[in-house]
Chain A
Amino acid sequence: MDNHPLELTINGKTYKTAVEHRKTLADTIRENCDLTGTHVGCEHGVCGACTVIVDGKTVRSCLMFAHQAEGCKIRTVESLARGDELHPLQEAFIENHAIQCGFCTPGFLMLIIGAYENDPDITEENLIEVLSSNLCRCTGYQNIIKAVRSASGGLLAIGSDADA
């Protein structure tokens, strides 16, 4: 299992590294690029803790090989805040107590931001459907839904230029 050179673009920054072909994008983001905000909760594509945005689509980075993401624009939770200023969705998560242990939180943030970027007028029903793709053991989801509702107006304004 040899390492092969790899160049990843994450949050607008280029990371040059070398990893095995079998290494997942999640592990590579965490271990080779030192961006540990993306978490790994199951490694089999169900929990969504590893959700990141790749070329505008939310993906489970534990189900993608790092080499498959070469040449793509990858966004992780670390891209959301601007210095000290939090993204409105991050603010809303804090305000609505949508976080307990926080392990699922980065995945939910990226999931929701991806969903709103793809469909700014997403219906309540579709939103719940989207949220049900990630797991949280702590919050019982109610406050996550509340947070999204309270933030949805301000979401896209800040979200979309992060692709650059």
Chain B
Amino acid sequence: MSENITPNATFGKGVRRLEDRALVTGRGRYLDNLQPQGCLAVAFVRSPHAHATFQSIDTTSALTMPGVHAVLTIDDLMPVLTGRKLIVGLPSAAIELEVDRPILAGDEVVYVGEAICMVVADTRAQAEDAAEYVEIDFSPLDVVSDCSLAIKAGAPTVHRNLPHNRLAAFGFRYGEVEKAFSSAAHVVGDRYEVHRGGAHSLEGRGVLAMEDSLRGVLDVWSSTQTPLALKKALCELLGRDENTIRVEMPDVGGGFGPKLVTYPEEIAVAAASVLLARPVKWVEDRREHFIAAAQERDQIWDMQMAVDADGGILAIRGSMIHDHGAYTARGLNIAYGSGVTLPLPYNVGAYALDIEVVLTNKVPTAPIRGAGQPQAAFVMERLLDKAAGVVGLDRAEIRRRNLVRSDQMPCLKPLKLRGGTNVILDSGDYPATMKSALEQSDWAGFQVRQQQARKAGKFLGIGIANYVEGTGRGPYESVSVRVNRKGVIEVVTGAAAMGQGTETMIAQIVAEQLGGDLSIVRVKTGDTDNPLGFGGFNSRQTVTAGASAHAAAQKVRKLLLQMAGHILEASEDDLEILPGKVAIKGVSERCATFGEIATAAIGLPGFAIPVLDKPGISASEQVIINDMAYSNGSAVAEVEVDPDTGSVRIIAFTIAHDCGRMVNPKLVDGQIIGGIAHGLGNALYEKMIYDATAQPLTTTFADYLLVSASEMPPVTILHTESPSPLNELGVKGVGESGVIPTAPAIISAIDNALAGWNLHFNRAPLSPQDVYASLRSDSKGERA
């Protein structure tokens, strides 16, 4: 793209974000800030049981409560709905059981928090008061809380009418696994458990619906990552044409995955608004986010790795159980993603993994930042640590020997993505990236530091983990770019902004081609007028929307030059694009402004449009990119462990990463550090606890701990830019990178700090109690 760079280049610069001014002054337009006149509030009545049937819902008393307009069950909503269920699962032949979510439960509830009916009142407080008076005659049934028990023969079933709990079984297999294991110098293995947690965007979900009778349109605002998917579901379930529903995305206070799923509550609120002919709003409170927004990560892996005498990985085999929750909110994508990810950064000669996706009486799972990749990295990196110990190699050295090398790029892996396309690592120098992390963190000098600290009674440890992140999930995202009569560059895209700086990122790519003045670019994200698009997930938007923005801006650039050439009576070769205008090279006062050019291109009735084939300075693009772009990196964590209390403090954290060309290094850093904070939570703090009857026990931020400023270590970020060959800009995604290697790097460092005890921690998160208990139960332990 170098030939296109304008003098005021914006691409690659750490510019200020376009979004921020409104956000720092309290003028963000988050869902709950939208307060239309006469808006009614919803409180959902949710199941207190993890599994129960019911016959009747008695709403009589609730209806007499002050301010109440309606108490609606699924039967009450049916007059405006075309079906009772929300069917959103991605297709897969491996799925054996159909468990789509009901809009509201009809006669059976299968997890605590499942919505049964909705109280609509003047205020939320009144709706919640009345919800207490809705009486439901539950008959509790047997519950399955733990996915490893749910898969056992004779286990109670999550849904009373289903024969078993195995939603799907599938796997991955390549190479001669058994042969590799029988000839291996060493075999290591363990059972690894990665735990379920929540997304906890600071703003929960929320939806507002109101019919505009003047336009004949149902307006819906939702704090979602996928407004187009919501629109599709609403059109289907309300039986309406696309042009009679408009879905808008307000400012979104964080997404992190669960908001990519369309939820029954969104449908129910829209239906209630149609039914009552009033604006109706529901805002998820924190408790609801804890019990009813999708969660992720519960997986149990039984894995073995075969290595040769030099530590070369010969094969990996094993099985994994994935907790799907009670319904299908997305599909098999998380478990599939885990399976694909596990061997990616390394040369693994043979691989066999059997996956069982299992129903439990818990809230459905769906991607949370990382989407299956953190679990896979955890297992792979833990196995490598174990193998290093057995072979007698340094943990970094065994990785170096096995990492995919730069001379292998692009590297075709014998694996397929869930859509059937190939897995091809597109670019990068993984060993070099790891080397830079090792140097920055002084890996080589750590032993000396460790011994010195030990003399002072301190237990320091260091750990490393590598990762590859699949980004830029295709096939495309829409971007249109138009210059209006005022000379403003209007950009509209289906890409969704959840706080990552999507508007700024797209504006930088567009402005790069169009004079470099960001102040005249306006970006509208989350567009749903154009049905071609998907929204925000899978770290996909910089790649997919970025490529379309680039292509559209290049077309607009050409149009500007063509028309300006006509106006200025000059050859296009003699023109240059400056901020807001096109000028004769070197003579900036001989120019046509963008506004003049656009006005000429729009034309006048009865007059011919000069030069252009089509009127207007605009272009719309959907660049198709089927293969994923793979970012990579290495994280090194240095920790101090207190064996007397089991507490762990992160002293330093280094991450070397490569996400291709960076559109905005500041935003990239922001994504990475945010991901690391989340990964630190997954390593040490965030634990969503359910009891044996699947009652959630951690439903406040006092019980479920998010990382705060005091737990956050200083983070050093090192950038390498290996352009992706898959798109013209050479970009890759980065939104989930930080979270993937963090837990395995930290857990590895904890093992290392406690080397005298010879421990191998095999799960995350690890609380001080867990560490303390392991130290006490291990008789080989030696004390300071």
By a CB distance below 8 angstroms, the chain A residues around B500 are 100
Does B666 touch A at the CB level, under 8 Å?
A: yes
* B254 A46 Cβ-Cβ under 8 A: no
Q: Give chain A residues whose Cβ lies under 8 Å from the Cβ of B202.
A: 39, 41, 47, 49, 101, 103-104, 135-138
Contacting pair B670 A143 (CB below 8 A): yes
| Candidates A94, A134, A141; contact of B24 at CB < 8 Å | A94
**Interface contact B286-A44, CB-CB below 8 Å:** yes
Once A38-B26, A93-B20, A101-B252 are accepted as A-B contacts, the answer to whether A138 and B709 lie under 8 Å apart by CB is: no
Partner of B33, one of A36, A78, A94, A99: A36
The answer, among B25, B669, B708, for a CB contact under 8 Å with A141, is B708
B432 is an interface residue with CB less than 8 A from chain A: no
Complex interface: stretch among A66-74, A114-122, A125-133, A156-164? A125-133
**C-alpha gap A93/B66 in the complex (Å):** 44
List the B residue with the shortest CB-CB distance to A143. Answer: B670
Q: Does B189 contact A (CB under 8 A)?
A: no
Nearest residue, chain A, Cβ from B285: A43
Q: Is A152 an interface residue (CB 8 A)?
A: no
Other-chain residue from A39, A78, A135, A136 in contact with B30 (beta carbon distance below 8 A): A39
C-alpha gap A119/B498 in the complex (Å): 35
Contact of B26 among A36, A46, A104, A143 (CB under 8 A): A36
Which residue in A23, A31, A132, A140 is a CB contact (below 8 Å) of B35? A31
Complex CA–CA separation, A141 to B711 (angstroms): 10
| Contact assessment for B286 and A41 in the assembled complex, using a CB-CB cutoff below 8 Å | yes
With beta carbons under 8 angstroms apart, the residue of A42, A77, A135, A140 that contacts B700 is A42
Nearest-neighbour CB distance to chain B for A19, whole angstroms, equals 10
User: Is B349 among interface residues, defined by CB-CB distance under 8 A?
Assistant: no
A131 neighbours in B (Cβ, 8 Å): 708-710
- One of A47, A80, A140 near B701 (C-beta < 8 A): A47
List residues of chain B with CB within 8 A of the CB of A36: 26, 30, 32-33, 35
Interface of chain A: mostly helix, strand, loop or mixed = loop
Q: How far is the CB of B447 from chain A (nearest CB, A)?
A: 28
Please report the C-alpha to C-alpha distance between residue A104 and residue B201 in the assembled complex, in whole angstroms: 10
Q: In the assembled complex, which residues on chain A have CB atoms less than 8 Å from the CB atom of B66?
A: 1
Chain A residues touching B, range:
35 or more
Whether A128 and B25, one on each chain, are in contact in the complex, defined by CB atoms closer than 8 angstroms, is: no
Flag whether B17 is at the interface (Cβ < 8 A). Answer: yes
Cβ distance B782 to chain A, nearest Cβ, rounded Å:
34
- What residues of chain A lie closer than 8 Å to B715, measured between beta carbons? 140, 142
- Cβ contact of A128, chosen from B674, B701, B710, cutoff 8 A: B710
Could you give, for residues 657-688 of chain B, a 1 whenever the CB lies within 8 Å of some chain A CB and a 0 otherwise?
00000000011011001111110000000000
Q: Is A105 an interface residue (CB 8 A)?
A: yes
Q: Of all chain A residues, which has the CB nearest B711?
A: A132
B701 with A103: CB separation less than 8 A = no
Is the pair B700, A102 in contact by a Cβ cutoff of 8 Å? no
Q: Which residues of A lie under 8 Å from residue B567 when comparing CB positions? A: none
Question: Is B773's beta carbon under 8 Å from chain A?
Answer: no
Tell me if B673 and A102 are in contact (CB < 8 A): no
Pairs A–B under 8 Å by Cβ, sample size 7: A34-B35, A100-B501, A103-B202, A132-B709, A137-B677, A140-B715, A141-B712
| Set of chain B residues within 8 Å of A55, measured between Cβ atoms | none
If the complex has contacts A37-B27, A101-B202, are A42 and B17 also in contact, measured as CB distance less than 8 A? no
**Residue A22 CB within 8 A of the other chain:** yes
A101 and B254 within 8 A (CB): yes
A-B pairs with the 9 shortest C-beta distances? A37-B26, A101-B499, A103-B253, A102-B23, A140-B673, A140-B677, A46-B701, A36-B33, A131-B709
Which residues 136-151 of A have a CB within 8 angstroms of B?
136-145
Given contacts A40-B32, A76-B26, contact A141 B254 (CB under 8 A): no
The answer on a CB contact under 8 Å between B673 and A90 is: no
B203 within 8 A of A: yes
Contact indicator A23/B286 (Cβ below 8 Å)? no
Q: Does B256 contact A (CB under 8 A)?
A: yes
Is the CB of A6 closer than 8 A to any CB of chain B? no
Whether A22 and B125, one on each chain, are in contact in the complex, defined by CB atoms closer than 8 angstroms, is yes
Within 8 Å CB of A109, what residues of B? Answer: 24
* A97 lies within 8 A of B667 (CB): yes
* A41 touching B24, Cβ below 8 Å: no
A7 in contact (CB, < 8 A): no
Residues of B within 8 A of A93 (CB): 20, 24
Write the chain A residue with the least CB distance to B124: A27
Q: Which residues of A contact B23 (CB under 8 A)?
A: 99, 102, 105
B708:A100 contact, CB within 8 angstroms: no
* A43 near B16: Cβ-Cβ < 8 Å: no
Question: Could you tell me if A142 and B673 are in contact, using CB atoms closer than 8 angstroms?
Answer: yes
A39-B253 contact, Cβ under 8 Å, with A81-B25, A101-B203, A141-B708: yes
Taken residue by residue from 35 to 61, chain A's Cβ proximity to chain B (1 for < 8 Å, 0 otherwise) reads as 111111111101101000000000000
Chain A residues closer than 8 Å to B708, beta-carbon distance: 131-135, 141
Asked if B251 is an interface residue, CB under 8 A from chain A, the answer is: yes
Residues of A within 8 A of B274 (CB): none
Q: Are B17 and A97 within 8 A (Cβ)?
A: yes
In the complex, are the beta carbons of B676 and A140 less than 8 A apart? yes
Q: Assess whether B254 is in contact with A103, with CB atoms less than 8 Å apart.
A: yes
Q: Which residues does chain B contribute within 8 Å of A40, judged by CB atoms? A: 32
Q: Given B20, B285, B499, B710, which contacts A138 in the complex, CB threshold below 8 Å?
A: B499
Query: For the complex, what is the distance from the CA of A98 to the CA of B33, rounded to whole Å?
Result: 22
Interface presence of B28 (CB below 8 A):
yes
Distance, CA A154 to CA B764, complexed state (A): 43
Whether A23 pairs with B709 at a CB distance below 8 angstroms is: no
A46 touches B677 (CB 8 A): no
